[in-house]
Structure 1
Amino acid sequence: MNHVPWAALALSLLLLPGCGTLRDAFLDTASPLAPPRGATLGQTSREDIVRQFGEPDEIDARRLDARALEVAYYFADDLDDDHEPRYKLLVCEFAKGVLTGYAFHDTGIPAKLGFEESGRAKLSKGQSTRHAVETALGVPDGKAFLPTTITLPALDIRLGAAPFPLAAIPAGSKEAWQYYTEGFDETRHSASRQTLTVFFDERGIFLGDALLHELVAKAP
């Protein structure tokens, strides 16, 4: 896949200064997006997702390892508590009508500070379970069976069709979770985003993780 998804291009435009009118006209301001309730990879159906959120705003047909996949995009836009623009994105991947991955991002959620330090220290390779990971790091922003075609929004905008996750994948990995945060670093005087990817084997045992730190902009 060499093209940049239309949905990713649209989101990149929405992040540009002066695009408020475009954003307000393009996005559905009334849609209360959130991570899918009770979603289970390999079990939740496309119909389950549609019952929660309605028909997708965008559908992208893809192929991976000779498999036909469908990627559904949901968008929403409103103002946060400080009356600043806030956007949400939910991306769901399906194979034969069954959920194989999803990623959610909401700029209005406070940054999960410290997940890359204190939380990761509690995990043991080859021992920690999915439940232990969720206890240490919280509910993930995205989950996917591997291999997959979806990414979290920051990577989708920057790299288009790059596979999820963008990291060295430990041998035996069958599933990945991602945690996403962005904020302003007072020490470095810069805005940055971080994506933490956690890998599991087919039994749901933790195999390792990878942290991607991206500098968004530096204050003058």
Structure 2
Amino acid sequence: MNVLIADDHDLVRDTLAVFLGAENEINVETVEDLDQACKLIEERGSFDLVLLDYTMPGMNGLDGLHKAIALNDGNPVAIMSGTASRVVAQEALDAGAVGFLPKTLPAKSLVNAVRFMAAGETYVPVKFMTTEEEEEVNPIAEKLSSREMQVLGGLCQGLANKEIARELDLQEVTIKLHVKTLCNKLEAKNRTHAAMIAKEAGLF
């Protein structure tokens, strides 16, 4: 079974790869963003399962999901996230994702979920979809739109507005506006302070 993991956070990506790679029948490839994922699929052919981080560079909400599904030749594509709400999870499923994996999922459950989805079945944790929203969503994430979360992720990586704009395919002036808005929402003094708040809250 060939699995592709696309996530811009090294620790998350490497941890998932170790969990899955420990299973003899699972071969894992990892990349850092959507563009790399799409390029690898085009070069290597479709994977048995593709796992996409919802907030990594290039995703642009669920647009990235649609791109990956189109490239993966009918094989399953799933979304994973540490911050997305069950509403986003449902939207992803409705858009064609074969599953949604919270990053808090235990290792054993993760491996079982991967096998399940690679077999063409839909997987999403029942507890995640039935627990009250307030208990699942990070308080910081709840204040921000999905686009503001993407911009905040860029700030946490130390990227300049121009670099974030390039990754999200937006104008630099738009990024400046998002930075100002999210700083106001987080009551942050500046972009560095906003990144600190996000990291202290465990968002990135």
TM more than 0.5: no
TM-score (norm. length: structure 1): 0.25
TM-score (norm. length: structure 2): 0.26
Higher helix proportion (structure 1 or 2): 2
Higher strand proportion (structure 1 or 2): 1
